[in-house]
Amino acid sequence: MKQVISDLNYLFDFFKQRNKQLYIVGGAVRDMLLGKIPKDFDLTTDALPDEMTHWFDNVIDTGARFGTVGIVLPGGVYEITTFRRDLQYTDGRHPSSVIYTDDVHLDVMRRDFSVNALLMDGDGIVYDYVGGLADLNRGIIRAIGNPDDRFSEDKLRKWRCVRLAAEQAMVIDDETKASIQNDPDISGVSMERIQNEFCRVLIADKVTWGGYLLLKCNLIQFLFHERDVHFKNRDWRHSFLEAFEAMAFVPRHLETRLAMLLHSLEPDERELFLTVLKFSGRTRKQVLALCDRYQVNCNDIVDFKQTIAELGHGGFATLLSIQQGEAAWDDGSLKCEIVKKNKRIYAGIVERGDPIFARDLAVNGRDFVAAGYRGAQIKQGISAALSLVYRYPEYNNRDDLLSFIDSYAETLAEGEK
Ligand code: ATP
Ligand code: MG
């Protein structure tokens, strides 16, 4: 942070010497006023992009079309945007073009919410042209100007609004909220951007509040109704709300929380949900596996160990944290007892080093081939041997397993007759 402060001082001096205005704007001012450390600093100036590119050696062309230049200094990259006015929005996401201005007031008016439109100069003086300070004090997110107009210009702002409320524990002003509720359409916005906002809600400080707002504002419903998808669980909104509540009791981990959200859906619907939101193959796989194994219970030791094998130790720990979180949310002593027992059994398995994965077996694929297994039979044989040692770990030695392989080969042959 020390380096960042010295970089900022350098920039303020540098611009002042050239008779240019420079302000910190947006999330950084908001966060500082809330007593939080900003993750990055966006700046705004009346200097033109070409001027800045000319002045600095280390410049990244982050969004020159919209007047943003990234300046690389020892503490990081500082995005400096020239004061601008946005011309007509035609695609529901971007202005058709921008006009630079030397009037910071106009720049503030194009920003999304009043709490994101505060300016701070090099002396730490805050400038507020849109009632942002009052809204920040009362914890209100309010669109600047007419919310219907602002949301139809750039539909991503609807999701940004809810995400901001969840991250900052703020309420949405009534008129702003009603505007989203009445028109949750997001056409023109890429699903990757929506996914990004959705993930930020899922790992936000106030995830329960964020989930409630996503449903209240019809944003999640819209994604699916638009595709004519109707979940079989008619009560899915209620299940989602409960999941968003329980999420507050588990770590802020994306896959964990996605699995909690989706397990009340049918397997094909879960897949569809993740596909519509364009989650990566890796995330989809992890979340779907967690959902499939959601109810793991140590009363069936084979199933319990199979679950560890399938999810890996990391995934299994996630599953236990979900069970624990849901039990805490539910305040159900029976559930808490089950989780405690699951944890105890799992700790024992790890401590004893019970065989879990195929690589832990005292025999390997070659032993199966030597015993006459071919193709798919090998996989079948390995999973039968694993089931055996899951129940009786003491059989995990070559002699016992080789004789098991022989006798199981006969069972397979019988089955194929
Ligand atoms: P954080 O960095 O914590 O996500 P932020 O408010 O800094 O929050 P950025 O996406 O970095 O968000 O944007 C910086 C500023 O640019 C915002 O505070 C806001 O003033 C403006 N802004 C960003 N996106 C939009 C948008 N879609 N419409 C209007 N103004 C926007
Ligand atoms: Mg920012």
| Domain residue spans of the chain | 1-138, 146-292, 296-354, 358-416
Whole-number Å distance, alpha carbon 38 to ligand 2 midpoint, is 8
Whole-number Å distance, alpha carbon 66 to ligand 1 midpoint, is 14
**Same CATH fold assignment for domains 1-138 and 146-292:** no
**Does the C-beta of 95 come closer than 6 Å to ligand 1?**
no
**Does the C-beta of 111 come closer than 6 Å to ligand 1?**
yes
CATH class entry, domain 146-292: mainly alpha
Q: How far is CA 406 from the centre of its chain?
A: 49
Q: What is the pTM of this model?
A: 0.91
**Does the C-beta of 86 come closer than 6 Å to ligand 1?**
no
**Domain spanning 1-138, CATH architecture:** 2-Layer Sandwich (3.30)
* Alpha-carbon span 307 to 315, nearest angstrom: 9
**Contact in structure between 323 and 338 (CB atoms under 8 Å):** yes
3-class SS at 406? helix
- Which amino acid residue places its CA nearest to atom 14 of ligand 1? 26
**Does the C-beta of 68 come closer than 6 Å to ligand 1?**
no
Contacts of residue 41, defined as CB under 8 A and 6 or more positions apart, other chains included, come to 4, 8, 24, 28, 78
**Phi, psi for residue 65 in degrees, rounded to 5:** -60, -35
**Does the C-beta of 277 come closer than 6 Å to ligand 1?**
no
Q: What is the token pair recorded at 245?
A: 């509540």
In the block, tokens 């202005």 appear at 95
DSSP for residue 323: H
- Which amino acid residue places its CA nearest to atom 3 of ligand 1? 27
* Alpha-carbon span 75 to 317, nearest angstrom: 37
Contacts of residue 256, defined as CB under 8 A and 6 or more positions apart, other chains included, come to 250, 290, 318, 321, 322
Residues with CB under 5 A from ligand 2 (ion): 27, 40, 42
The DSSP H or E segment spanning 140 is strand 140-141
DSSP 25-71: ETHHHHHHHTT---S--EEEESS-HHHHHHH-SSEEEEEGGGTEEEE
The runs of H, that is alpha helices, within 233-332 are 236-247, 254-262, 267-276, 281-292, 301-330
**Does the C-beta of 116 come closer than 6 Å to ligand 1?**
yes
Contacts of residue 182, defined as CB under 8 A and 6 or more positions apart, other chains included, come to none
> What pLDDT does residue 228 have?
84
Contacts of residue 313, defined as CB under 8 A and 6 or more positions apart, other chains included, come to 350
For the CA of 157, the closest atom of ligand 1 is 27
Query: Any idea which ligand is nearest the CA of 30?
Result: 1
For the CA of 81, the closest atom of ligand 1 is 16
Number of neighbouring beta carbons within 10 Å of residue 102: 14
- Which amino acid residue places its CA nearest to atom 21 of ligand 1? 111
> What pLDDT does residue 413 have?
76
For the CA of 200, the closest atom of ligand 1 is 4
> What pLDDT does residue 75 have?
93
**Does the C-beta of 27 come closer than 6 Å to ligand 1?**
yes
- Which amino acid residue places its CA nearest to atom 28 of ligand 1? 112
Task: Name the residue among 47, 46, 52, 86 with its Cα closest to residue 66.
Answer: 86
Whole-number Å distance, alpha carbon 41 to ligand 2 midpoint, is 6
The runs of H, that is alpha helices, within 60-109 are 104-109
> What pLDDT does residue 332 have?
72
> What pLDDT does residue 136 have?
98
Query: Any idea which ligand is nearest the CA of 111?
Result: 1
Q: Average per-residue pLDDT in the chain?
A: 94
Q: What is the token pair recorded at 327?
A: 């039990």
**Contact in structure between 7 and 18 (CB atoms under 8 Å):** no
* Ordered mean pLDDT values, 10 residues apiece, the chain (417 residues): 93 97 97 94 95 93 82 94 88 84 94 98 97 98 97 97 98 98 95 97 97 97 88 93 97 96 96 96 96 89 96 95 93 83 96 97 95 92 96 97 93 73
**Does the C-beta of 42 come closer than 6 Å to ligand 1?**
yes
Whole-number Cα distances in Å, 76 to 39, 49, 68: 11, 19, 16
